[in-house]
Structure 1
Amino acid sequence: MELHTGELRRAGVLVHLPPQPYKVLVLLASRSGQLITREEIRQVIWGNDTFVDFEHGLNFAIKKIRDALGDDAESPRFIQTLPRRGYRFIAQVRLSGPPVRTGSPAIESSHASAQTAVQETTQIPRRVDTRPSISARHRLYASVLLGALILTAVIVFAVDPAGLRYRTLAALHLEKSQAQPHIDSIAVLPLENLSGDPEQEYFADGLTDTLITNLGQVLTMRVISRASVLRYKRGKTPLPEIARELNVDAVVEGTVLRAGNKVRISVQLLNARTDRHLWAETYERNLEDVIVLERQMALAIAHEISGRLNPGQEMHLNSGRPVNPHAYDAYVRGRVLFGERTAETETNARSYFEEALRADPNFAPAYSGLADFYSVSWHTTSDFPLAEQYARKSIALDPDLAEGHASLGIAQLGQHKFIDAETELKKAIELNSNYAMAHHLMADYWMDMGRITDALAENDRARQLDPFSFPINFMRGGILAYSGDTERAVQQLQFVSSINPQSPSPHELLALVYWINGKVPAALIEEKQIGALGHDPQLINDADRIARVYSKSGLHSALREDILLRENAHARTSHGDQMTHGFYTSISIASQYAILGDRDRTLHWINEAMHEELDHSPEDLMCAPQFSFVRSDPRFQAILRTFGLPLR
């Protein structure tokens, strides 16, 4: 156990312990073989002014220690439980190393006492009986042991962590003499919920998201988005491997403990390449001050990485107003649920955003959440004018909220207000250059403008910030497909499918790519996969029917059969049938007619799509290769003018 770094390790392998269990282990190991009562542990570790339920906290700490050491309460090798009394550390302890300064006045006082006691006892001749009383001798013995352990201590463990990544979440600072690595990129790993209550997971996730946002607004370096770090939640991926996958220099990780209206957050900064501690701190506040707490954390981390911030950045992070705890609670729940993008979670997210506004009608982030629900939900019909109203309300309450400007840009893009959308999306990026979704939506804007090269560049920026984002990677597949890079498009869409195996969207685009390139069997395999994912036996039967036609009569006949089946299905959906995928839409029918080379019917169905599918993005009209042969047609140009699109 290395107190100067707060690390617990054996043979160079770090063993993960949160700060509170780590302190309990230090106390127990410092008095190996002795009974430490529960009351003594409470006084030394928790103190009298803590808000945390002590019994729950101690039981949690002992469990974490046993998990880290591979210990068993029934057959202990390290910690023996004495029911209703306390605990005893029963493993052998070996002391070694140079003195270490802890920074704790109480501990340093004990340290000084221990040094004096050692010096005095070494000067007394062995034959002279100068022994103190039994109680004094016990105190002296405990002081010597504790002081020596605080100077330096290494516990010899008989445990093999099987090569898994573990790190301590120490509250001790590293010596400032250690060299600070050059940091150009950072990821905030999901904060660990220590409450023991699964219902509090949303709270830890929300704090993670907010810390990422705050850092993104003040750091000029790359800050990885939440969607890409979520894959490491509760994982045991070695930190250097995370550094390679995310291409980052440093990570922030930590824990959250919430009890009633109090919250404690412990965070630490680590060198991602070497797994070395750089900085650590613990914060404790009332819940209504959580926004201020989050901004203070971001400010401390930013200072540790970049030194001084400019006055505008400092002002931004110091300007957080107290927040209604209920409103913040509901908003965090809503954002976490909305990110899951299922029909149920999207609906529940809207309810939480509305609940947040009932608790605090001036809570700007909740209006941004509602705006996004009505503009970019995957399972709800869009209402872009309503989304715009909510986004404008968000900005009116907080003009510097990047999410509000991005929400307004999304709503305006959906209404084909392209100039206004560009302005708002650029404003969102200006306010927070690390907001990956703003870059993603800007790429969407460039696609709508028919500027594939600009779209690809903006998509690259979004992917650097959020390398495992499903929508960002999906858009890249579309950009590559529309630019004619079929091989890379297929590889990209297969990767997208691995991110979310339950989504039919990558298979829809793959099927289109295969149809464009005349690979009918491959296209039909993708369509059957879509049918399986969407529990749509009709689509599976249609694919089998087209396969028989293709086998008998070839590509041209297979295309005509496919179009006939899509038109029939489209008619059914027009009369109220539910559609679970994009294969029976007007634009999909236009696309198949375009592949067939039927100019008139292609233009007819394009016109239908632009008038029927109000949330349809025009990017395929502007960029998709199958429509290139109609773009010079006056009828196509008229459609572009009607919707304010640039002429091609």
Structure 2
Amino acid sequence: MHAYRFANLVFTLEDGRLRNEHAESETSLRPQVARLLENLLAHAGEVIPRERLYTAVWGEEAVVDFESGLAALMRELRQSVRAVEGPDDLVETVPRRGYRLDAEVRVDGGSRGGRRRAAMLLAVLVPVLLGAGYGLWLALDGTAPEPPGESSLAILPFENYERSAELPEHVGLLMADTLLAELLARPVEGLELLGRTSLRPYLGREDVVSALAGDLGVELLIEGAVTGRAEQGWQAEMRLLAVPPGRVVWSSTVTGEPGRPLDVRAVAGSMAEDLVEAWPSLRARLAREG
């Protein structure tokens, strides 16, 4: 049975049990939480991008609200660690990058050094083998696979619910325009951005998704919502849709503390950074799905 030992805790992968070696406390993790912890332990000390954790937990084909789903699993994991008297700072959130597990990890009584050396060896050998295989394939076939093409992206004004003093006037339009500006300041390979002028005739139409896809050839669409309550703080959510048919393929959420005004540029910049970081794997997945 594979056992990870770290910070006076023991995690057994096969049954999802997490226990404290020095206290009589134990809990069982749900399968998704167990997969999350397994990946954090396997790369202890490293910052793991959120997109890699998404794939490890749900797989590449799943369609879920990754951002809120991962946040919920992370909260559940931290609660489980506290339940077995583990350290509160075991998992560190690295803003705009991902998560890092801060602990020395041993696997089945051995250190991670052997696994790390094996990983380094694979990192050297795999590109060599792949290169040789690719060269042989080219020699036999004579053609190379085409890289993913350009994807056109349009950004709709964000919906604005539950207005409060923390939200500026016309926040929905401001979010869309500022997000466009932030993405234009971070050129992304394979992503063509449509300006607001091109979208103006379509705004307000019930068939806006199909119209943009049919008339302008839009393949990706960003929609979002901003909500704000004085006692709960504000929340801005951005969703990336593949069109048609309007399937959500990725999302990002930013929340604010009660009483603190929403900084449109800072929020749009954070969302743009998240999308830029996630885009390479998103682009490859969308190309495979056709």
Normalised to the residue count of structure 2, the TM-score between the two structures is 0.40
Q: Which has the higher contact order (CA 8 A, sep 6+)?
A: 2
More helix by share: 1
